[in-house]
Structure formats: C-alpha cells, structure tokens
Amino acid sequence: MNKEELKEKYGKKRVPHEWCGTDKFTALVTTFFGSGMSPKAPGTMGSLAATIVAYPMALLASSLFGDSIELSLGRFCCVNLYFLMAALIVFFGAIPFVNKAMRDTGTEDPGWIVIDEVCGIFMALTFFPTDIIVAHPWFLVIAFGLFRFFDILKPLGIHKMEKLPGAWGVMADDLLGGVYAGILLWLSAIGIYALAF
C-alpha cells in the first residue's frame, strides 16, 4: 500500500458515533464489544482486545482438549485447530453483520468495524501450539505486532483482497494478514527454540 492509499484510508476524519446508524447488536459484534469505538486507532484497539481474549481462550482449550486440538505436521509445525475454528467462525459469522453495518451507515470498511482484526489475530495463532501460548504469553505480543504490521501495510497481495465485494473484502484481507503473521510467528518461535537449545 503506497502513501496516498494509507493517507486516504487512515487519514480521513471519522464521523463521531457513526456506528449508531445500525442496531445495537450489530454494533456490538462489528466493534468487538466496543473496542472499535475508540476515537484513536480503533483497529489497534480491536486487535489488542482480540489478543487479550486469546489468552483465556488458550487456557480453556489447553485444559479441555490438551494437545488433541493440534494437527501435527512435523516436529516444529502444527495447526492449532481450536484457533483455526475460532478464526473461521468469526470470519463467516461476521459477514452478515459487517454487510448490515456498512449498509445501515452508508460506509465502506469504516475504522470502527474491527471484527476483521479479531479474525486476523485468531488466524495468526493457528500456527502456534496452545501450550506455548499458555506457558509463554509474551508470544501474543509478537503475534499482535506482526499482525498489525501486515494489517496496516497490506503487502504480498493483502491489499488486493480488499477489492472483494462488501464484507468479504473487509474480512478477507485481515484473514490473509493473519496467515502471514502466523507464519512469521511460527518461524520466530523456531528461531528462539534453536537459540535456547
């Protein structure tokens, strides 16, 4: 994304309380329980809220399912089915709410819709074992930082996903950003493990 596109997307003035144009439940879902209502950096606030929620989710998954929720693809590689399911449920479940919110408010991908950031954070954690998240929660900070990098700059085809129609474009770019962030998170964990041992 070039400077002009960044300025157009993030530099525009927000209409205060724009989300009031839709019903309360839709606003609650699309702003992820109000985190997107932040007057400054709503995308960052939504990502932060999702990162905070991810820790108790990992604790719950670890206590209920243990390692059975991970699909092993080798010694250092797994797919965390719990966070994959969470990301996909948020992705497909949010589509009608995002479409309704944009239609009701006459907007196109407004900053206060942050449910897409939630999907992206959960997708980033899909490539990471739950027990490591529980034992080393600071990896969540790395996941947050990597995801925000991809969400803001939108490299490697992420920007093209925004061109999909309606809510699909709003959600898909963050899903792909989460995939890229997850791969880098996984690679960083391997690097840290190799240095430690």
Tens-binned pLDDT, residue by residue, of the chain (197 aa)? 667 776 666 665 555 578 788 999 999 999 999 999 998 899 999 999 999 999 999 999 988 877 667 776 655 567 889 999 999 999 999 999 999 999 999 998 899 999 999 999 999 999 888 888 898 899 999 999 999 999 999 999 999 998 999 999 999 999 999 999 999 988 887 776 666 55
Position 195 scores a pLDDT of: 64
Position 27 scores a pLDDT of: 95
How far is 131 from 178, CA to CA, in rounded Å? 20
Q: How many CB atoms lie under 10 A from the CB of residue 72?
A: 11
Position 165 scores a pLDDT of: 94
Encoded tokens for 159: 């920007």
Position 21 scores a pLDDT of: 86
Dmax (CA) for the chain in angstroms is 55
Q: Which of 123, 115, 124, 83 is nearest to 97 (CA)?
A: 115
